[in-house]
Homo-oligomer: A and B are copies of this chain.
Amino acid sequence: MTAFIAEELKDDLRIKWNRIKDELVKKGMDACLLTVDVNLYYTTGRVFSGYLYLPADGEPWFFVKRPNGLEGDRVVYIRKPEDMPDIFAEQGIPMPQSLLLEADELTYNEYIRLQKVFQPRETDNATALMRMLRRIKTPWEIERFRLSAQRHEATYREIPACFRPGMTDLEFQFEIEKQMRVHGSIGLFRAFGANMDIFMGSILAGENAETPSPFDFALGGGGMDSSCPLGANGTPLKAGTAIMVDMAGNYTAYITDMTRVFSVGKLPDKAYRAHQVALTIQQEVTNVARPGAACADLYRIAADIAKREGLEANFMGTRQQAKFVGHGIGLQINELPVLTPRSKEELLPNMVFALEPKFVIPGVGAVGVENSFLVTETGVEKLTRFEESIIPLDE
């Protein structure tokens, strides 16, 4: 290892490095170079500005631009990526003939620049490799999820006390955000891909639950401002409104995902019935979710129940419907696998995913449930435990 890496991470990082190296050997590639925040955190336990260079047959090198003061073997400070080839020569590191770069995360100009620096005969996609490997969580990562889940649950227990009659969805959200921070939320909420703007999660109430958003989250909402059109929009929380709370579980770098529904006064019967159908979907999907289960089948079970219950037009939205019912979680909220009809993936042990069957009821809001599940050897374990019925708020 190297000095700047925390003692408690050494075993965990060794597992991760070995998995990457095994894949490099399988692909016949010489090395991978990582620089985006989540991949550096994944492989070193911290975010820095610089590069991790991991060869298939050697120890990793840490090329650091900032912060000052990281110390240890194979830590080399650089000013710019063009400094690396000279260091390779000095240190006797062979230049890679084939190199993985983060092709779905690096900008075009950064990628071209790194290609020019290393001039490998062949490049391949480190983003695809890392997303594939990051699906399978390590024991240390699973403990981090458990800690996020505990804090997530503790925050949700405070939600009823955040409500005051006459509030808007935004006012309610601000109180919940405060509770999140007090319970340890690190604030930052990471998603993979462009156009996934979100702040700390989403609250949807009343008609706003139908509003389509540009983003690839399960539901939409108009948001506070057209520069971030998602989630709460100032909807008054009046009697007969369902409030879906899907606030982030970013209490460690490993994000849990949990949605619960609250009501102001009595909701129309259709809302309670749809909520019950969502709980049935959760039950039926988790009954068969285990290593080997096809993600596409899990989606189909959910969609079939929605259809059988006559709620197809409300399932995962109305005016715009999401075509997935769950997704991997981790350092980003949208990791692999995705529970979608097009998926070719199967569940594997130590995957962690969110399952979120939801229905939009026009004029009322959204109902349903979301939990984070760990895939065990024989089934799934629910990580996020909190009352799942619709929780009435004091009026």
Q: Please give the residue numbers on chain A whose beta carbons come within 8 Å of chain B beta carbons, in ascending order.
A: 6, 35-37, 41, 45-50, 65-69, 101, 103-112, 125, 170, 173-174, 177-178, 181-182, 186-188, 194-195, 197-200, 211-216, 220, 224-229, 252-253, 319-320, 331
How far is A320 from B69 in the complex, measured between Cα atoms in Å?
A: 9
Cβ distance A198 to chain B, nearest Cβ, rounded Å: 8
Residue among B105, B111, B174, B213 making CB contact with A66, cutoff 8 Å:
B213
Which of A104, A227, A252 lies at the interface centre, i.e. has the most chain B CB atoms within 10 A of its CB?
A227
3 A-B pairs with the lowest CB-CB distances in the bound complex, closest first: A187-B199, A67-B212, A227-B253
Number of this chain's copies in the assembly equals: 2
Given A178-B177, A215-B49, A227-B46, check contact A199 B188 (CB 8 Å): yes
Some 30 contacts from A to B, beta carbons below 8 A apart, are A36-B195, A37-B194, A46-B227, A47-B197, A47-B228, A47-B229, A48-B195, A48-B214, A66-B213, A66-B215, A67-B211, A67-B213, A67-B214, A67-B229, A68-B212, A69-B319, A104-B107, A104-B108, A105-B107, A107-B108, A108-B112, A173-B181, A177-B181, A186-B224, A187-B199, A187-B224, A188-B227, A188-B228, A227-B252, A227-B331
Chain B residues lying within 8 Å of A174, measured Cβ to Cβ, are 178, 181-182
Residue of B nearest to A195 (CB): B49
Chain B residues lying within 8 Å of A69, measured Cβ to Cβ, are 212, 319-320
Question: A226, B194: Cβ atoms under 8 Å?
Answer: no
How far is A157 from B69 in the complex, measured between Cα atoms in Å?
A: 37
Cβ distance A129 to chain B, nearest Cβ, rounded Å: 14
Chain B residues lying within 8 Å of A49, measured Cβ to Cβ, are 195, 214-216
Chain B residues lying within 8 Å of A213, measured Cβ to Cβ, are 66-67
Residue of B nearest to A115 (CB): B108
How far is A331 from B197 in the complex, measured between Cα atoms in Å?
A: 14
Residue of B nearest to A319 (CB): B68
Which of A109, A220, A252 lies at the interface centre, i.e. has the most chain B CB atoms within 10 A of its CB?
A109
Question: B36, A212: Cβ atoms under 8 Å?
Answer: no
Residue of B nearest to A199 (CB): B187
Chain B residues lying within 8 Å of A181, measured Cβ to Cβ, are 170, 173-174, 177
Cβ distance A45 to chain B, nearest Cβ, rounded Å: 6
Cβ distance A40 to chain B, nearest Cβ, rounded Å: 8
How far is A186 from B197 in the complex, measured between Cα atoms in Å?
A: 12
Question: B320, A68: Cβ atoms under 8 Å?
Answer: yes
How far is A177 from B177 in the complex, measured between Cα atoms in Å?
A: 9
Question: A107, B109: Cβ atoms under 8 Å?
Answer: no
How far is A195 from B48 in the complex, measured between Cα atoms in Å?
A: 8
Chain B residues lying within 8 Å of A186, measured Cβ to Cβ, are 199, 224-225, 227-228
A47-B226, A187-B228 known, 16 other contacts, Cβ within 8 Å: A41-B227, A45-B226, A47-B197, A47-B227, A47-B228, A65-B214, A67-B213, A69-B319, A109-B125, A174-B178, A177-B178, A178-B178, A186-B224, A187-B200, A187-B224, A188-B227
Residue among B110, B214, B320 making CB contact with A194, cutoff 8 Å:
B110
Chain B residues lying within 8 Å of A195, measured Cβ to Cβ, are 35-37, 47-49
How far is A186 from B227 in the complex, measured between Cα atoms in Å?
A: 9
Question: B46, A229: Cβ atoms under 8 Å?
Answer: yes
How far is A37 from B182 in the complex, measured between Cα atoms in Å?
A: 31
How far is A46 from B50 in the complex, measured between Cα atoms in Å?
A: 34
